[in-house]
Structure 1
Amino acid sequence: MSIDVLIIAGNARSLVANRGDLIRDMLSVGLLVAAAVPIADYLTEVEELGIQIHPINMGRTGVNPLQDLLTLLSLRKLIMQVKPKVVFGYTVKAVVYGSLAAKSAGVPRIYSMITGLGHVFTTDSAKTRRLRRIISVLYLAGLACNHKVFFQNPDDRQEFIDRGILRYPEKSVRIYGSGVDMQHFARKPLPEGPMVFLFIGRLLIEKGIAEFCEAARVVSADFPQARFIAVGPLDPKLPHACTQEDLECWKAQGVVEFVGGVKDVRPWIERCSVFVLPSYREGTPRSVLEAMSMGRAIITSDAPGCRETVVEGENGFLVEPRQSVPLADAMRIFLEQPALVLRMSEASRQLVERYYDVHKVNKGILEVMELA
């Protein structure tokens, strides 16, 4: 058996949500595609993508030498079995061990996508500094095997060059995130009634959920009619997840409405006026692109990955990360000048049309891979 492309996924959810459109575009040009998906968080939805699925043992977080060696060997065995012409990995372990396995198995072309640097690069403790050194070395080894490396924002690319992780900058290719399906996330009219600020994301410290809740608490004292909604799951197994105690405390304040995880975020985006993501760092935040595509003004962080989605004062505002006061100030601007919401919502949709249409993004990726 021989296939055209083997995608090595970091987790099942992201293969469906973030790579589904890319897979469909690959299939539309006649490519035979397969994906290696970690068993730990396997979802049956991946079987609906119309490609071969190969479950593998690959931990999502942590560095366990024995487990990682087994991951490398199992990936090499799979690659030798399916004989892909191209291997494409994303997230740390998929990039590192997928690239090394592909190189050792003699795969002609190897590509990786850096979808963000994660909590190891956004926090600074003795533990994360040690992990950062280890991960940097692993990245260096893995990316040395690559023909091209896709970066979703220029800050991540520059950091890899500055740290000596990417030895040959000419291998790098800048893309506009994973793109967004503008038909699926179609433009919707703004809601009537009180202004609604919406956060969508996992309840992680680095997503800025604490700053969102604190800003909401402060702003609600002056604008009690405003609503604040947080959509997303609490997964205590993830590094830097908020604690259950944090969540209960925020709920007790009675300001932010917590919805939990949902399968379809569109109804929630439709009922919001302004989308808010005060994240500390992203690749390119998909949730922001989805909100922009549906025509929503944005407040997000002046941080890598986030800052690329906002033209300051045109489709939203950039705020200092890790601080609730600038976030509250930006919310107040919208509440005091509600006409801005409509103007900026139109600008958001235009920016998506110009840069982030998923089919434009995917066409660029396939051309670089020589698959278009």
Structure 2
Amino acid sequence: MKIMILAGDARTLLYFREEMILAMLDKGHEVIAAAPQPIGEWAGKFSFQRKGFKCLSLPQIDKTGTNPFKDILGFFSIMRVLQREKPDKIFTYQAKTIIYGTLAAWFLGIEEVYILMGGLGSILRNEKKSMIKKILQLQYKLAFKKCKKVFFQNADDYNLMLQEGLVETERVQMVKGSGVNMDKFTYTPIQDFPVFLFVGRLIRDKGVLEYIAAAKLVKKRYPEAKFQIVGYFDTNPTALSPEEFHSCLDDGLIEYLGEAADVRPFLAKSSVFVLPSYHEGIPKSVLEAMAMGRPIITTDAPGCKDTVIDGVNGFLVPVKNSEKLAEKMIWMIENKDKAMKMGQASVRICQENFEVSKVNEVLLKTMNL
């Protein structure tokens, strides 16, 4: 059977989908991964090269743009690829490829389309009504009607879409994020303390500014505490420019370590993982930190709160509240032994709920693979 995976960004295929692709190949299926970036930039970066697997480019897809003419070109580029490859099933995620991929499949008579919803993003979560939000809701509603199943990663996102009348209950399957490979992200005892680590795209919605503000508050009381950031600049509407980001770090209190294809060395040297995100599907960066035995400080936002039992493997703080974030950072510094136990609890919670093989089993079973 031939399965096509349509992604809005090639990075996500490498970071989120490798294990799922391998699981499909192991079952004897042919898999095609397609993303907007030129193939030369990403196809060779997979950790495997297997018969039955190939990569394609969708050059006309503009991940975050709102130009309708570019979107029309993107729609037809997907349609051409689907016409040529004739997949039996399509697995798609991220807004543009969900909407245009599902509609292109419908036009071509491809009946089995499976949609994975990550975090809903700032537009859909914004209570204010806008023309862009209305158009996006209409597009999602149409895509959901034309697909076989929609995977939601957290109940908050599902309930919001249900309340808005955008999705039908019988089309929904819950799944616990993208999972984490615990054979790859193995428990590593905490050595240096305290070292706080943020890993994520350098966008406002990830809470990076709150992390920086909280770090500066903590530094006044505990100057020996270390604060690190690993991440890359993005084209998201809430993205920070390099100039904006670096201007926040000009006092040298926080260390920017750049972008990393493999975050394990940074997690191994950290003692507490922090993600003050405004919304997520289920944040894989948190799952990776949990698998390696780190206590977590994240927000009570959708998706984030699914990873932490407050007071057991970390803490939940309000969104956009650097003062509360700093309070929990200070607690970690002042309660090292308890923080260590929280890290051990992270591993147990991860094993029980988020191991990637369990997540992929749900995905493949639902897709009849």
Asked whether the equivalents of residues 250 and 256 of structure 1 are also in contact (C-alpha less than 8 Å), the reply is no
* Residues 1:246 and 1:124: Cα distance change in structure 2 (over 3 Å): farther
Q: Who is 1:172 aligned against?
A: 172
Answer yes or no: is 1:147 the counterpart of 2:175. Answer: no
Match of 2:98 among 95, 98, 102: 95
Q: Who is 2:197 aligned against?
A: 198
Q: Who is 1:303 aligned against?
A: 301
Question: CA–CA distance in 1 between the matches of 2:169 and 2:265?
Answer: 42
- Larger deviation, residues 7-16 vs 242-251: 242-251
Give SS of 2:280's match: coil
Question: CA–CA distance in 2 between the matches of 1:246 and 1:157?
Answer: 34
Deviation (angstroms), 1:46: 5.5
Match of 1:66 among 69, 74, 91: 69
Deviation (angstroms), 1:49: 5.0
Matches within 5 A, 1:1-372: 3-39=1-37, 42-45=41-44, 50=50, 51-56=53-58, 57-121=60-124, 129-166=130-167, 168-192=168-192, 194-235=193-234, 237-371=235-369
1:233 maps to amino acid: Y
Deviation (angstroms), 1:233: 1.8
Asked whether the equivalents of residues 86 and 107 of structure 1 are also in contact (C-alpha less than 8 Å), the reply is yes
Asked whether the equivalents of residues 120 and 157 of structure 2 are also in contact (C-alpha less than 8 Å), the reply is yes
Pairwise CA RMSD of aligned residues?
1.7
Q: TM-score, normalised by structure 2?
A: 0.94
Q: TM-score, normalised by structure 1?
A: 0.94
Question: CA–CA distance in 2 between the matches of 1:286 and 1:304?
Answer: 14
* Residues 1:44 and 1:86: Cα distance change in structure 2 (over 3 Å): closer
1:120 maps to amino acid: I
* Residues 1:232 and 1:115: Cα distance change in structure 2 (over 3 Å): same
Aligned length: 364
- Give structure 1 stretches of 5+ with no counterpart: none
Deviations 1:282-308 (A, max 9, x none): 111110000001110000010001000
Asked whether the equivalents of residues 157 and 302 of structure 2 are also in contact (C-alpha less than 8 Å), the reply is yes
Give SS of 1:150's match: strand
* Residues 1:39 and 1:258: Cα distance change in structure 2 (over 3 Å): closer
Question: CA–CA distance in 2 between the matches of 1:70 and 1:144?
Answer: 23
* Residues 1:258 and 1:123: Cα distance change in structure 2 (over 3 Å): farther
Asked whether the equivalents of residues 234 and 260 of structure 1 are also in contact (C-alpha less than 8 Å), the reply is no
2:210 maps to amino acid: E
Give SS of 2:88's match: strand
Question: CA–CA distance in 2 between the matches of 1:53 and 1:120?
Answer: 30
Question: CA–CA distance in 1 between the matches of 2:127 and 2:252?
Answer: 32
Give SS of 2:277's match: coil
* Residues 1:191 and 1:121: Cα distance change in structure 2 (over 3 Å): farther
Identity in percent: 37
Question: CA–CA distance in 2 between the matches of 1:269 and 1:293?
Answer: 10
Give SS of 1:74's match: helix
Asked whether the equivalents of residues 194 and 333 of structure 2 are also in contact (C-alpha less than 8 Å), the reply is yes
Asked whether the equivalents of residues 203 and 234 of structure 1 are also in contact (C-alpha less than 8 Å), the reply is yes
Question: CA–CA distance in 2 between the matches of 1:123 and 1:178?
Answer: 25
Asked whether the equivalents of residues 196 and 270 of structure 2 are also in contact (C-alpha less than 8 Å), the reply is yes
- Give structure 2 stretches of 5+ with no counterpart: none
1:188 maps to amino acid: T
2:180 maps to amino acid: V
2:61 maps to amino acid: M
Deviation (angstroms), 1:354: 0.4
